[in-house]
Structure 1
Amino acid sequence: MKLARLTTLEKVGYGTGDTAINVVISSMFLIVAYFYTDVFGLQPTHMGILFLVTRLIDAITDPLMGILTDRYKSHRWGRFRPYFLYLSVPFGLSVGLMFTTPDWGYNAKLVWAYATYIFVTIMFTSVTIPYISLIGVLTSDPKERLSANGYRLFFAKIAAFCVTVIVPVLASKWGEGDLARGYQLAMALMAMLATGLLLFCFATTRERVEHPVETRPIKLQLALLLRNDQWLILCAVCLTGTLGYVIRNSVAAYYATYYLNADAKMLSAFLTTGVTAAILAMIASTWLTKYFCKVQLFRWSQVVVALLSIAMYLVVGPGDVLFAFIFYFLISFVVDLHAPVFWSAIAEAVDYGHVKTGQRVSGLSFGGISFFQKAGMGLAGFVVGILLSGFGYQAGAEQSDLALQGIALMLTVISGGFHLIMGLLMFKFKITDDFYNRIKPKLPSYQ
């Protein structure tokens, strides 16, 4: 079988789709918690409950979207790409509304926060499930998939760069003293960018691989997934990794502002340091996986993150800016070395399940992973909100020693602990390149 090689343009187009999606993810990871407490005006506990409750919706929408992509295919545009075309504008609109702060009473604003956050969550699901499934039909070559995911995750970090660097600057400039108005305008710009990039992804990619899809009842599909031990491992990895990632990045703005006494420029610089390290990690990961086992890289990088996190907590004190920047850069670099490996591993786990059970479950597989990612995001947001309240955090005020130590713990030891669990779980994952090449000839799509 001649494996399809992807052009650079197609890899770039595929990658820019994740730039669009990561306008939402980066906002949720990096600034939405800080926005909700210090700009929008929510109490930390209410914010945490909002994040948790909203994830219950994903328990319904994620599997439904996975099933929808399995059952319906456009003869002209394929199984997954049409969603980028039709949902690009609603997706962008949802992003803009989430960062709109109406001048209402607290309870009315809380309702608005729920409505807009739920809207963006549904739009996020409707675009993300097809997107993360797309890699499985672009090519069947695992190295090309890994390369495409390297592009994808590099461009994803561009979105994070925009959200952490450009948005705060534009919010301050365009708000003219009204930070809520500034964030609304800045994120509206990001929303328009996301809409355009989804359309670009649609236009530059092509679905080549046709997998036979079993249109079976959800109960049977779930039973098949439960027999796929490697997919179950990835679900647990996704949940624990997202918990660590979101907790650390959600409190980064609090850490810089209160633990390091940062002004607006230093806050932007601190967040930019993490994003820059993550971008470099995408490049380094693509290079390293050419010479080293990708699964081993995944495992040990997360163990190192846990060790660096403990070291950061022990070494960096309040106001210790230099060491804080150094450790935050190192942690942000090492933690993302696994990312291209993880997203290519999902498609390979789907193929593994197909070989093991004789039946393919694709859409629900990717929908399940997305659900665990967003469950991790919701749980992490809940944990951050509850811990901020528990440690006595007060928005915009001078923080107590307990609050400062709590913020430091969340950025380092607590988040690092989840990454340690993530790395240890990957010692159970066995689909290396050699293993995959042995099972690939058994796939019906292999000719």
Structure 2
Amino acid sequence: MKAVTEKISVVEKIGYSLGDLAANLIFQTLMAFIAFFYTDIYKIPPVTASAIIFGGGMFGAFFNPVMGIIADRTNTRWGKFRPWVLWTAIPFGLSAILAFATPNFSPTGKIIYALATYVFLVLVYSANNLPYSSLSGVMTGSMQQRNSISAYRFTAAMISQFIIQVLLLPLALIFGDGDKTVGFGKVMTMFAIIGIVFFIITFLTTKERIVPEKDQEATVKQDLSDLSKNRPWLMMLGVIVFLFITVSLKGGMYVYYFQDFVNREKLGLFLENIGFNGFIDGLNAAFVKIGLHGFQWPEDIATSGFSLFNALATICMIIGIMFSKRLADRIGKREVFKWGIIISATFQLSFFFCAPGAVGAIFLVQILHGLFYGLTIPMLWAMIADVADYSEWKNNRRATAIIFSAMIFGLKVGLSVGGALVAGILGWFGYAEQVVVQSDTTVLGIKLAMSVFPTITFAISVAFLMFYSIDKNMEVQIEKALEERRWKKKENKIQPAPATTNLPGANSILTEVEI
């Protein structure tokens, strides 16, 4: 029987990462565009859109613990978590298509449709992404291998982010022939099909190596009791809530920032001087030469600036991800995560001091923010897997999915609050989608939501992290202790004790199953 710390192949790491690429095609769209979609495309008032995002998102958030209980108690020949990735693949794609459709209903009908489809999407997302995330905690018992898996996973997530934040608006304009309403529907259909295929690949290429013994399984009451006593879990829950409030708030505000704050004349000159316009002209000419006349980059300056802004940041995040594993192996996940957040938050605050015409400074700040924020991205989910190990170490029971479900609950709360804040802040500061030039008050609100507000929530996230106790030394201690338990259990199976002998602690050990 192979050790649960065996090296994971590159094929399996890539296969696993494709699941996150698929999920993030939808997740990144929710973070960056759901408020914009509701206010500017489906024409729902900002305050109402805020209520839909918050109410629907919170409903989905409270489903996560239920899904965690279900996943931890799923037993199939494929494992506990892999089957859910397969079972939810098609519903996930369908829910995404419906959520970004624009049926011609009355104002009240639009609100009902938007709420119903948003709730459906977040419920399916929970049923898919919770088992998917939990899977990383049972593919291997090695924390270094988990760091590596996380690096692959979040490189894929960054590719999704690049596609969404850089290309979604241009693709919507191209596929819709200038009509964003039509274009959004076509693009989301394409993403849904890609996502279904990738989820199936994830199911086929991954393997669960760590599963609890039948006599180790706990009751729901025991799971909840373990969570309430797990201080690292409580601290990480706080970290995640405020981190995703921040991510959703700033990410959802980018499109308004370029549409209504950044000076278009200065932006156009900047794009011309750095050669971006020349590059796009050459790209368009190449498309025409091969007969793709419909795939012309939109001429809207704000869309081009927004796309390049996100492209540079995403590339820098990927660079940060590449360095994260090496740093985590040396100083520990907690320290990498903490300092990455602190430095990236400092650059986020710097947006407040950028004038509308200071386009170069705006891009430089985003590049530096992306570089340091990228260090934190793989660490988050690897740290949650460590929390699951901590729970097993302390309680002698493995409850991977309930821990991940609680964390994804925090993610959903953060996403809901952050998305609602985007629409709510716009409504509070008087945003009107039908006007070409927003009022000074509205522009100030957009500026604050890009700088001061997310810095505050970043700071709260760091405050919770200060009380997270799993540092580098404890990581090593937990890994060694759990590995020793697992090997002892295997030895006990190979050399069974006499029937009259009771082996203390035998019920607390995990073993590997061969699939």
| TM-score grouping bracket, smaller chain normalisation | over 0.9
- Cα deviation for residue 85 of structure 1 reads 1.6
Paired with 2:487 and 2:378, the residues of 1 have a C-alpha distance of 24
- RMSD in angstroms over aligned alpha carbons? 1.7
List aligned pairs for 1:202-217, cutoff 5 A: 202-212=203-213, 215-217=217-219
Letter in 2 for 1:312: F
Corresponding residue for 1:361?
A: 399
Greater shift in the superposed pair: 225-234 or 55-64: 55-64
SS in 2 for 1:137: coil
List aligned pairs for 1:251-266, cutoff 5 A: 251-260=253-262, 261=264, 262-266=301-305
* 2:446 matches 1:407: yes
Paired with 1:215 and 1:136, the residues of 2 have a C-alpha distance of 16
List aligned pairs for 1:12-411, cutoff 5 A: 12-75=14-77, 77-212=78-213, 215-260=217-262, 261=264, 262-314=301-353, 316-397=354-435, 398-411=437-450
SS in 2 for 1:37: helix
Q: Is the 8 A contact 1:277 1:332 kept in 2?
A: yes
Letter in 1 for 2:236: L
Q: Is the 8 A contact 2:393 2:481 kept in 1?
A: yes
TM-score (norm 2): 0.83
Greater shift in the superposed pair: 437-446 or 93-102: 437-446
Q: Cα 1:170–1:307, aligned 2, differ >3 Å: closer, same or farther?
A: closer
Q: Is the 8 A contact 1:62 1:370 kept in 2?
A: yes
Letter in 1 for 2:387: A
- Cα deviation for residue 427 of structure 1 reads 2.1
Paired with 1:91 and 1:72, the residues of 2 have a C-alpha distance of 20
SS in 1 for 2:432: coil
Paired with 2:60 and 2:169, the residues of 1 have a C-alpha distance of 29
Corresponding residue for 1:428?
A: 467
Paired with 1:338 and 1:115, the residues of 2 have a C-alpha distance of 34
Q: Is the 8 A contact 2:15 2:201 kept in 1?
A: yes
Paired with 1:429 and 1:70, the residues of 2 have a C-alpha distance of 25
Paired with 1:252 and 1:203, the residues of 2 have a C-alpha distance of 37
Letter in 2 for 1:3: T
1:92-129 deviation line (CA, Å, top 9, x unaligned): 11111111111222111111111111111111001111
Paired with 1:440 and 1:178, the residues of 2 have a C-alpha distance of 54
1:184-209 deviation line (CA, Å, top 9, x unaligned): 00111111111111011111111112
Corresponding residue for 2:495?
A: none
Q: Is the 8 A contact 1:18 1:155 kept in 2?
A: yes
Paired with 1:197 and 1:19, the residues of 2 have a C-alpha distance of 8
TM-score (norm 1): 0.95
Greater shift in the superposed pair: 30-39 or 149-158: 30-39
Paired with 1:436 and 1:292, the residues of 2 have a C-alpha distance of 11
1:234-279 deviation line (CA, Å, top 9, x unaligned): 1011001111111110101110111113522222222323322322
Gaps of 5+ in 2: 265-300, 489-515
Q: Cα 1:52–1:132, aligned 2, differ >3 Å: closer, same or farther?
A: same
Paired with 1:268 and 1:94, the residues of 2 have a C-alpha distance of 26
Letter in 1 for 2:471: T
- Cα deviation for residue 31 of structure 1 reads 1.5
Letter in 2 for 1:53: G
Paired with 1:366 and 1:356, the residues of 2 have a C-alpha distance of 17
Paired with 2:153 and 2:427, the residues of 1 have a C-alpha distance of 36
SS in 2 for 1:104: coil
Q: Is the 8 A contact 1:146 1:340 kept in 2?
A: yes
Paired with 1:336 and 1:163, the residues of 2 have a C-alpha distance of 17
- Cα deviation for residue 46 of structure 1 reads 0.8
Percent identity for Structure 1 against Structure 2 = 28
Task: Indicate the structure (1 or 2) with the bigger Cα radius of gyration.
Answer: 2
Q: Is the 8 A contact 2:151 2:325 kept in 1?
A: yes
Letter in 2 for 1:326: L
- Cα deviation for residue 2 of structure 1 reads 6.5
Paired with 1:169 and 1:30, the residues of 2 have a C-alpha distance of 14
Paired with 1:80 and 1:361, the residues of 2 have a C-alpha distance of 12
Paired with 2:315 and 2:96, the residues of 1 have a C-alpha distance of 24
Corresponding residue for 1:445?
A: 486
SS in 2 for 1:78: coil
- Cα deviation for residue 317 of structure 1 reads 0.9
1:271-302 deviation line (CA, Å, top 9, x unaligned): 32332232222223234334433321111121
Paired with 2:304 and 2:343, the residues of 1 have a C-alpha distance of 30
Paired with 2:413 and 2:201, the residues of 1 have a C-alpha distance of 29
- Cα deviation for residue 446 of structure 1 reads 4.9
Letter in 2 for 1:178: D
Greater shift in the superposed pair: 127-136 or 259-268: 259-268
- Cα deviation for residue 426 of structure 1 reads 1.6
SS in 1 for 2:7: coil
Q: Is the 8 A contact 2:154 2:377 kept in 1?
A: yes
SS in 1 for 2:386: helix
SS in 2 for 1:428: coil
Paired with 2:366 and 2:37, the residues of 1 have a C-alpha distance of 21
- Cα deviation for residue 5 of structure 1 reads 0.6
Paired with 1:178 and 1:103, the residues of 2 have a C-alpha distance of 15
Q: Is the 8 A contact 2:349 2:455 kept in 1?
A: yes
Greater shift in the superposed pair: 290-299 or 189-198: 290-299
